[in-house]
Structures are given as C-alpha cells and as structure tokens.
Amino acid sequence: MSKGVIVWLTGLSGAGKSTIGGELLSHFHELNLNAELLDGDEIRELLSKGLGFSKEDRDLNIRRIGFVARLLARNGAIAITAAISPYREIRDEVRRLASLDGVRFVEVYLNPSLESLIARDTKGLYRKALAGEISNFTGVSDPYEPPLNPQIEIHTDTQSVEESVELIMKYLQSEYLIPCSVENARTASY
C-alpha cells in the first residue's frame, strides 16, 4: 500500500510534455513500476468532451486530470500528466489535494523560450494563433502562469529529451520516490 507520486508536466504547446511524458512512462515500466501517462489531448477526449478553452472549462478539465492522477497515485502508481495547465491556482489546488492523500506532487516546468516555439512550430499552431486564426491560444492570446517554485525547470529549447528525462528520473530517485535500478525495484516489490 505504498504511495505513488504525481509527476506534473506543465508548459506551453510544443514544450515537449507529451514526448517527455511518453519517455518517462517507458522508463517507469522498465523499472517494473505501475505508471500512467494522462495526456492532455487524450484526456480531454475521454473525460472532457464538450468543454472549451475558457478559463472555467480549462480549470474543470485540469481538476478532472488532477482527480484521476490522485486516484492513481494514492493507489501506488506513478501518474504523469502532460497538459498545458496554464493556471497556477489549479495546479496548486491539485498539489494541496494530493498532499491530503499523502501523495507527492512533483511540478516539472518545461520552459523553452516562446521564440523557439514560434520558430519551430511543428504543428503550425503558433503561426495560426499569431495570425488570429486560433483564439484562446496559451502563450499568445491566452495567459500562462509559470510555476513559482517548480521542483524541476527544464529549458527544452536547449536541453534534449534524453537530458530532460534524466533530470526528472534523478530527481525522483534522489527524493526516494522511485527505486534507483531495476534490481532495487524488483527487491522492493517482493
């Protein structure tokens, strides 16, 4: 009945949340740890179909992701979330509720420069947002409130996916939130 942990990835569209979240999930599974990736877009389809991108709807969506993450973590799994989660108040609310469950909330701020995101723009969304074709686009026409005291901050414009994943894994190990090796993971689960 040991607790899991919430690894909360936050940052703008294109910051690397889904990619890094997916890599983390593979690493946790290699360590034989129970883990889930709650990806913003997927979860929206499953839990929040019909909700839009107003502050109220975004808050509701993030609260739902937070609720599911807490359920998983208080039952021993690692819940990785990969959603923009632009508002500080709601992230802090999830942290408080997790704490009541005895679950650690590790906030990971993926923080590439906005310029680098606009320059790369793999999905062409920034171009559209800057042209006014998408309203409520976080970082352009909608606010993003950066974490004030994230456990980890990564400049994903200059740090690679591998480096980013290693930073997060090392942090979790140093806080004894995950075992240090497959061997230890096996020992710990028996």
Which positions are annotated as active-site residues? 85
Per CB under 8 A, 97 contacts a copy of itself = no
Instruction: For the chain, give the number of residues.
Output: 190
Region of 10-18, 63-71, 93-101, 135-143 interacting with a copy of itself (CB under 8 A): 63-71
Region of 71-79, 81-89, 118-126, 138-146 interacting with a copy of itself (CB under 8 A): 71-79
Per CB under 8 A, 98 contacts a copy of itself = no
The enclosing H or E element of 36 equals strand 35-39
- Residue 5's CB is within 10 A of a number of other CB atoms, namely 24
Closest listed residue to residue 136, CA positions, set 47, 13, 14: 13
Interface map 72-91 toward a copy of itself (x if CB under 8 A)? x--xxx--------------
**Identity of the residue, 7 or 129, whose beta carbon is nearer to a copy of itself in the bound complex:** 7
* Burial of residue 123, with CB atoms counted within 10 A of its CB: 0-12 exposed, 13-18 middle, 19 or more buried: exposed
Minimum CB distance to a copy of itself, residue 60 (Å): 7
CA torsion through residues 91, 95, 100, 103, sign: positive
**Identity of the residue, 71 or 119, whose beta carbon is nearer to a copy of itself in the bound complex:** 71
Q: Which of residues 25-54 bind a copy of itself (CB under 8 A)?
A: 32-36, 46-47, 49-50
State how far the Cα of 4 lies from the Cα of 78, in Å rounded to an integer.
5
**Identity of the residue, 95 or 128, whose beta carbon is nearer to a copy of itself in the bound complex:** 95
Tell me which of 141, 160, 181, 189 binds a copy of itself, using CB under 8 A.
189
Give 62-121 as a DSSP string. HHHHHHHHHHHHHTT-EEEEE-----HHHHHHHHHHHHHTT-EEEEEEE---HHHHHHH-
Q: For binding to a copy of itself (CB under 8 A), which residues are involved?
A: 1, 32-36, 46-47, 49-50, 60, 63-64, 67-68, 71-72, 75-77, 189-190
